[in-house]
Structure 1
């Protein structure tokens, strides 16, 4: 009885501490208010705004082929073309088809729940990092296009980004192995998540020793193997070439970031290589001057981590030793991940309208991390562009993103 009483007292004390922290931090109750209001908004959108038919029928056709036993990726096709997503996409949408029977309205309800779940994770991340003022959290709920992407168009980007944000939330709690597993699950839905891979690897090298990094990467690789196993056992080349096609060229007409580039240049290999080089250079610059600033720069940091590699491969240390190297600051984790992804966005050859979900939720964070003063006219301009407008103006959107990126590195 005394033991039970002590446990009960500790539980009550923990609850009181949580309530006290919530009372002292206005962001917590405000975040719950935002969630409640957005639940109402999502319900109204589903009830009164017409569904937009884009990829849903194609998804269902691709899933139907998989359910019927097809394991050759070259034979899995839909109205919009061949299947180009990893197998995690098939499993998720097969489950959705099973639950909804392919009915759009029921699927919209599921995606509405997914939207709220994703928003809850994002609000958790923002509250934990404490970068924005409490009122600025409302900016996360103001995008007409993001609501449309989730509940009116039912894109697979929604699942990929929700899993990515869940992985990021795990990293904030220093759960690196769990975060890598969830991250790999996100990659299995859509490859764009790999834009987060370079900053994530750097953070892992900071947080863990080499043995820990290797074991975490092995867990992530195991997820990919298990997810793709039914296809790799029968048609491995077809699966890998279709699901992880890094050389795919998008149609110039649908691009919203390099619309100002002439189409012959847009589709050329030279343009793709130039963007890749720019991507690598920007990542290196940020890693050297920002992400590894306190470690003496990127080269010194890598040298300090890789020199003791031989000692990490003793069996005792590899299997028994503690893989944690150091606890990372939450703001540093989120800043590194968001900026690393945004660099990839700036250097992406083509962004479609649904790709806005790849970086929308990082924009308030990035804007508050730039040296814009609150009274600067530039901040309202960026906010109105990113959070209120239906579409970014195609001719200048890429330049505007680059402007934010440059100001972020100067912060």
Structure 2
């Protein structure tokens, strides 16, 4: 019989005030030290030219009045991101005049803001030991993605973490708007959509779910309106293209798969089926375990007359984070191609995911180091990609073995007030 884990939020609130203060001090100190590291990286490590010039070329076309996505291109190819990307990088071009160094400063600040938000999220759930917070600052590849490569993934990741923090504070409608803003920067954020939808069903009435989804859809509509009014087909086909085939050379996770198989439709369908199957299994057996399984849960929400009337209570913060991070990680495991900047999509969830597993701490650290090592091997090899996939599958197996936390915040934790 599976043992139910204590509610992490309750464990946090019951900590002595002095220990809780020390947690915030340690987290703040780590953020400050990492800020110094970022300054040294910007000052001493040469910038790597990859996408920044292409971003600026695409923005130039937009600022000159071009609204046809088929005509917005850069050095690395056509524009394939939704319109939120254009607005952010147009603002960056205005603020930095398209120069790399001031852009690095902006991205350095963004890195620290994102790290602070992630630290806040981790502090609220009390799953990691305090020393393990340092893992969030130890990735060479993540520092590079933010301040040496200037990828748009950085803005999408920061907005996504902001949305999760808003969910923690019960701002569900605003959280959905920020989530949609993240999607408007890069489509990978949609990997979080299935678990987020499940959380909405758990927390809100059907009317609330529909309202929040309409708000998210409105963000996409308004951001893309200039392009939808002029060249709607070009915008939708380019900005929301879910069928892109990536170059085999750049794949970090499936380099061991032969190139002809990698680009085949059969391989894509296989991964999609695996993705949906894993989501279904985790939904039924793990995330809705305490509601009697996925079908029983859905029946209680959609047909309340058949069962009891739904009781919408505040959700346990650990449960929110589990669904969001595990749901995204399942998508990462089943992604056909992970490029180097895609590491930012899930790096900040790794400590949480590892400490959710029943593995001993030394083994958790070995897995963490293995993942980091694989992402720092360039170019990726068949061995490094196979090793990365093995590490991912180990984490996923550990998550499957882990006990399911209670979905709702306990009454005692809801009654406790933070100092």
| Alignment gaps of 5+ in structure 2 | 1-12, 378-383, 403-419
- 240, 261, 267: which one pairs with 1:265? 261
Aligned to 1:382: 367
Q: 1:21 deviation in Å?
A: 3.9
Structure 1 residues 309 and 71, CA, compared in 2 at 3 Å: closer, same or farther?
A: farther
TM-score of the pair, normalised by structure 1? 0.90
Aligned residues: 379
CA contact under 8 A between 1:188 and 1:224: conserved in structure 2? yes
- Quick one: higher RCO (CA 8 Å, sep 6+), 1 or 2? 2
CA contact under 8 A between 2:195 and 2:324: conserved in structure 1? yes
CA contact under 8 A between 2:58 and 2:73: conserved in structure 1? yes
Aligned to 1:3: none
TM-score of the pair, normalised by structure 2? 0.88
Aligned to 2:178: 182
- 386, 406, 411: which one pairs with 2:397? 406
| Alignment gaps of 5+ in structure 1 | 1-16, 311-322
Q: Which runs of 4+ in 1 moved over 6 A?
A: none
Question: Which deviations, in whole Å up to 9, do the C-alpha atoms of 1:238-279 show, x marking residues without a partner?
Answer: 000000000000000100101111111110111101111100
**d(CA) in 1 for partners of 2:34, 2:294:** 42
Q: 1:24 deviation in Å?
A: 3.6
Pairwise mapping of residues 45-60 of structure 1 onto structure 2 (< 5 A)? 45-60=41-56
- 356, 370, 373: which one pairs with 1:369? 356
Structure 1 residues 46 and 299, CA, compared in 2 at 3 Å: closer, same or farther?
A: same
Structure 1 residues 223 and 324, CA, compared in 2 at 3 Å: closer, same or farther?
A: farther
Structure 1 residues 338 and 400, CA, compared in 2 at 3 Å: closer, same or farther?
A: same
Q: 1:97 deviation in Å?
A: 0.2
- 234, 237, 241: which one pairs with 1:241? 237
Q: 1:382 deviation in Å?
A: 1.1
1:327 aligns with 2:314: yes
CA contact under 8 A between 2:62 and 2:72: conserved in structure 1? yes
Pairwise mapping of residues 189-268 of structure 1 onto structure 2 (< 5 A)? 189-268=185-264
CA contact under 8 A between 1:35 and 1:119: conserved in structure 2? yes
**d(CA) in 2 for partners of 1:188, 1:115:** 19
Structure 1 residues 62 and 29, CA, compared in 2 at 3 Å: closer, same or farther?
A: same
Name which of structure 1's ranges 385-394 and 334-343 shifts more when overlaid on structure 2: 385-394
Aligned to 1:337: 324
CA contact under 8 A between 2:124 and 2:317: conserved in structure 1? yes
1:132 aligns with 2:117: no
Larger Rg: 1
CA contact under 8 A between 1:258 and 1:349: conserved in structure 2? yes
**d(CA) in 2 for partners of 1:247, 1:275:** 13
Q: 1:151 deviation in Å?
A: 0.3
**d(CA) in 1 for partners of 2:391, 2:226:** 44
Q: 1:104 deviation in Å?
A: 0.1
CA contact under 8 A between 1:155 and 1:354: conserved in structure 2? yes
**d(CA) in 1 for partners of 2:192, 2:246:** 21
**d(CA) in 2 for partners of 1:24, 1:155:** 35
Q: CA RMSD in A?
A: 1.7
- 131, 143, 149: which one pairs with 1:147? 143
**d(CA) in 2 for partners of 1:61, 1:381:** 42
